[in-house]
Structure 1
Amino acid sequence: MRTLTSADLSLNTATVSKQWTLAECIDGCARHGIGGISPWRDKLQDCGVDRAAKLIRDAGLGVSGLCRGGWYTAEGALTQTVLDDNKRAVDEAAAIEAACLVMVVGGLPDGSRDIDGARAIVTDGLSATLDYARTVGVKIAIEPLHPMYAADRACVNTTGQALDICDRLGNGIGVALDVYHVWWDPDLAAQIARAGKDRLLAFHVCDWLNPTRDMLTDRGMMGEGVIDIPAIRSVVEAQGFDGLVEVEIFSAEDWWTRPADEVLAAMTGALPSI
């Protein structure tokens, strides 16, 4: 397993979403020696896609991903509005030369109890987006989310489920693994091996606090919680993954309340826990 430095980290802008604009995130990464960035689309659009692409290039940062496309079930079935938004997301990912477009696929349509039907909608939507993404060289990364989000955010909840979809859709699609969502899965190591290097498109880290006060916005800095992050990283890197390690922390009561430079200093200080 490689020895990480700050240059191997990527800042997901959600980590300091309450403190900084995208331009400030880019400057902060440069100051702290962080090698990459992963913008959320709201921050990217606020900055302007072309301006953001130039700022990122000028700072010498890699782009580990763009967050996020997906939400295929938002209107109850695949609509042109949803498909058009995902096409825009692909174009934005291409413009900033993102390693992948991360997909939070969507949960149950309003009023539905049909999770298999939701997964069918998601698969059809991913297929349509992937057809376009292939033409512009953007890779699509399904992010399986913890089962507690199955109803409202993502009906794809395990690495195995995500890879089943990848198997059906072919090349150009893989997974974005966030330890917060997958650490509990007893089949995780086997599914990481199944993915292999070509389908391991992104690796996100934070920590699971015990107790967790909020299921969305109470994530910890690496080393604060119960996830054995180095053990998971070792399995991922055994498959040949050598990309940026992306730090994505939603933390309404802690990290979002601190000065952003303090957050980035804590990120680099947490390297031994990654």
Structure 2
Amino acid sequence: MNTATTRNSISLGDAAELANSIGFRCISPAFTEIETYGLKASRRLFSSNNLKVIELNPSKIFNLGSKSLDRRYLENLKRSIELAAEIGALKVIVIAGGVTKAPTLYNDLFARLVDVLAACEVDCTVSGVQLCLEPLHPVFASDRSFICDVSEALKASIESGPHVGITIDTYHTWWDADLFKKIANSPKNKIRSFHINDWCRRSGDRLKDREMVGDGIIDLPSYFNTLKNIDFLDSIEIEIMSSKQMTFAEVNSFVQTARNRTLATISV
């Protein structure tokens, strides 16, 4: 369970207890959640609820585009790797960042991204933490991620080194008519995590108004069939961001429904 699903309504402590009670074996919190809750307290929390931390998610978007911006991006990435290792997380989710000024050449941003990812190889090797570059929907290209296409994310991961893979999120990738071909033809073990949710037709908040699994327009069974065909054995996360505030009982019901529907979709 990705805590982005519950963060707007309940605390990290409640989310961990909820995940354990429902039957999740793994959890993926955000950077600031660990800092706020405390490193030692977070480790105790996850251990007491029999939860393995799979991914550490970013809490802030950092952009590339100049020496100072690139340096800040790299420093944040290295700190994220360090924190992930401290809580026993296997991966750090990486968002490429938006376009800082116009005109900004894509090739320049891409080269800067590869440079900072490659610069983390020693940190990743020593800590055992992997980086997972996540392409976002094109609607977020200007302010969150200039990497929107799975092929470009794969290219960046290949050029950066073996410590870098990618994350496939159904919300951000469903629009691509060639998506399943790209997944099927991806280099072995470069796709290292998968986030499931659905696309809401009408939204007041395009980032956070995500649909319950199976209630939107995304062809979710085709994702799982394609992943099975490439022998994907890595993490599958429920990540349904929502701008709505829910009671604990409502969150409990919501997450249980999402888990049950995900398991049913996997078996299709």
TM-score, with normalisation over the residues of structure 2? 0.89
Counterpart position of 1:4: none
Asked if 1:257 is matched to 2:246, the reply is yes
Q: Which secondary structure does the structure 2 equivalent of 1:121 belong to?
A: helix
Residue 222 of structure 1: SS of its match in structure 2?
A: coil
Contact 2:192 2:235 in 1 (8 A): no
Q: Is the 8 A contact 1:94 1:136 kept in 2?
A: yes
CA–CA distance in structure 1, aligned partners of residues 251 and 13 of structure 2: 13
Once the 2 structures are TM-superposed, how far is the Cα of residue 79 of structure 1 from its aligned partner?
4.2
Q: Please report how far the alpha carbon of residue 200 of structure 1 lies from its aligned counterpart in structure 2 after TM superposition.
A: 1.6
Higher alpha-carbon deviation: 38-47 or 68-77 = 68-77
> Residues 49 and 238 of structure 1: is their aligned pair in 2 closer, same or farther, counting only changes over 3 Å?
farther
Q: 1:160 to 1:70 in 2, by over 3 A?
A: farther
Which residue of structure 2 aligns with residue 144 of structure 1? 135
- What are structure 1's unaligned runs of at least 5 residues? 1-10
Letter in 1 for 2:23: G
CA contact (8 A) 1:63 1:96 kept: yes
Q: Distance in 2 between matches of 1:132 and 1:31?
A: 35
Match of 2:214 among 202, 208, 223: 223
Q: Size of the alignment, in residue pairs?
A: 262
1:59-114 deviation line (CA, Å, top 9, x unaligned): 22232311028845257444433322211100111122223111011011145443
1:7-26 alignment, distance < 5 Å: 11-26=1-16
Shift of 1:213: 3.7
Residue by residue over 1:144-183, the C-alpha shift from the partner in whole angstroms, topping out at 9 and shown as x without a partner, is: 1111111110011111001111221221111111011111
Structure 2 counterpart SS, 1:270: helix
Provide the secondary structure at the position in 1 that maps to 2:136: coil
Q: Which residue of 1 aligns with 2:163?
A: 172
Match of 2:56 among 66, 69, 79: 66
Q: 1:40 aligns with which of 16, 21, 30?
A: 30
Q: Helix, strand or coil: the match of 1:176?
A: strand
Q: In the alignment, which residue of structure 2 is the partner of 1:96?
A: 87
- Tell whether the 8 Å contact from 2:94 to 2:134 is kept in structure 1 after alignment: yes
2:189 counterpart SS class: helix
1:193 positional shift? 2.5
2:79 and 2:41 map into 1 onto residues whose CA distance is 17
Structure-2 residue corresponding to 1:199: 190
How much does 1:231 deviate? 1.0
Conservation of the 8 A alpha-carbon contact between 1:163 and 1:174: yes
The aligned counterpart of 1:116 is 107
Q: Does the 8 Å CA contact 1:76/1:110 hold for their aligned counterparts?
A: no
Query: Structure 2 stretches of 5 or more lacking a match?
Result: none
Paired-residue identity, %: 28
Q: Are 1:190 and 2:198 counterparts?
A: no
2:47 paired residue among 57, 77, 84: 57
Q: Tell me whether 1:234 sits opposite 2:225 in the alignment.
A: yes
Whether 1:82 and 2:82 are equivalent positions in the alignment is no
The alpha carbon displacement at 1:202 in A equals: 0.6
| Kept after mapping to 1: 8 A contact 2:64/2:113 | no
Structure 2 residue matching 1:101: 3-state secondary structure: strand
The separation in 2 between residues aligned to 1:69 and 1:119, in whole angstroms, is 22
Give the aligned residue type for 1:63.
Answer: V
Instruction: Report the alpha carbon displacement of residue 199 of structure 1 after superposing the two structures with TM.
Output: 1.3
Taking only aligned residues, the RMSD between alpha carbons, in angstroms, comes to 2.1
Q: Tell whether the 8 Å contact from 2:70 to 2:116 is kept in structure 1 after alignment.
A: no
8 Å Cα contact 2:238/2:259 also seen in 1:
no
